[in-house]
Amino acid sequence: MARRIIYAPVNLVSPLIRNFGSIGEGPPGLKNCLIEEKETGERAGAIRRLDMADAGLIREQRLALSDTNYAATFSIIESALPISNYRSTLSLLSVTDGTRTFIRWNGQFEGDAQDAVVMQARMPVQIYQTAFNNLVSIILKK
């Protein structure tokens, strides 16, 4: 799990997690992000294809999206990563004493003991926090 405060109101952050393809706007190591079958990526069932420099092809499917709760859940349906049954949820909470947003990304998966330890260390730092940094840079450009 990873958490962060973003210095922007939730109404500016939520469209970025709503848009399943917005991850394609610049995180390190991402060569390409494509929503399959000409979808918008803003509905449950949408599939995005990520071409990662270090992990190759990863296909993810959006499982749920809530504009009311500011949450999006997805799973990995294809990858060369040494894990299975990956499911993660991004959720946002409006911080009431200012124009800030609390973002939390919680991922769960299965894997053999050694791979699980490596992935549990890698995901929060190299994936989740990097994605948070990318969200901040997108917001700052607006």
Tokens of 5: 């405060």
Q: Average pLDDT for residues 105-121, to the nearest whole number?
A: 89
Span 1-5, mean pLDDT? Answer: 92
pLDDT band with cut points at 50, 70 and 90 for residue 64: very high
CB 27 within 8 A of CB 134: yes
What's the CATH code, domain 2-141?
A: 3.30.530.20
Q: How many CA atoms, within 13 angstroms, populate the side-chain half-sphere of residue 85?
A: 6
Residue 60 pLDDT greater than 60, yes or no: yes
Weakest-pLDDT range from 28-37, 52-61, 67-76:
28-37
CA atoms of 67 and 69, how far apart (whole Å): 6
- The pLDDT assigned to 98 comes to 77
Candidate from 16-25, 31-40, 82-91, 110-119 with smallest mean pLDDT: 16-25
Q: Does residue 116 carry a pLDDT above 90?
A: no
| Phi, psi dihedral angles at 110 (to 5 degrees) | -120, 155
- Report the share of the chain in percent with pLDDT over 70: 95
For residue 134, the model assigns a pLDDT of 82
Q: Where are the domains of the chain?
A: 2-141
Distances (CA, A) of 34 to 43, 55, 64, 70: 15, 16, 19, 23
What is residue 27's predicted lDDT score, i.e. its pLDDT? 63
Higher-scoring residue by pLDDT: 103, 127: 103
